[in-house]
Amino acid sequence: MKENKDFRQYGDFYKSIVDQDASPIVICSPEHEILYMNPEAVSRYAKSGGEKLIGQSIMVCHNAETQKKMRQVVEWFAASPEHNLVYTYYNEQQNKDVYMVALRDGGRLIGYYEKHAYRSRETMKLYDLW
């Protein structure tokens, strides 16, 4: 795939993709600082502080065992540009798989986010515009 050298000019497009996602997306630095939360994440985590979580460590939202695993995953991400996706959890109540996904700039690790992949069939009607 050819990389567009001027991809940064499309920042508004990338932000819009994240903001329109129906799943919560929390983007973190490699040091685990919350850098951005899409609107769904702000809403979903409102009881924990919502938008006020931005700038804080995501570690405060997890227990010691999960914190250890998150550190290990980020170390693994940093070890190779080929290390980009780790399955971390199945949430039975919400019927979804959860992953940690590396974010990179030219192969360099610049952060990560948690991806939610719901297993439930979509209930929205196809092309329901009206």
* Residue 1's pLDDT band (cuts 50, 70, 90): very low
Quick check: 98 pLDDT over 70?
yes
Which run of H or of E encompasses 101? strand 96-105
How many angstroms separate the CA atoms of 80 and 103, rounded? 12
Quick check: 21 pLDDT over 60?
yes
Quick check: 90 pLDDT over 70?
yes
Contact (CB, 8 A) for 119 and 95? yes
Quick check: 2 pLDDT over 70?
no
Among residues 7, 45, 49, the alpha carbon closest in space to that of 26 is found at: 45
74 vs 122 pLDDT, higher one? 74
What residue ranges define each of the domains in the chain, with the CATH number in brackets?
A: 23-118 (3.30.450.20)
Mean pLDDT of 87-100: 95
Q: Which two tokens stand for residue 118?
A: 């719901």
* Residue 129's pLDDT band (cuts 50, 70, 90): confident
122 vs 48 pLDDT, higher one? 48
Record the pTM.
Answer: 0.86
Which run of H or of E encompasses 71? helix 64-79
Quick check: 4 pLDDT over 90?
no
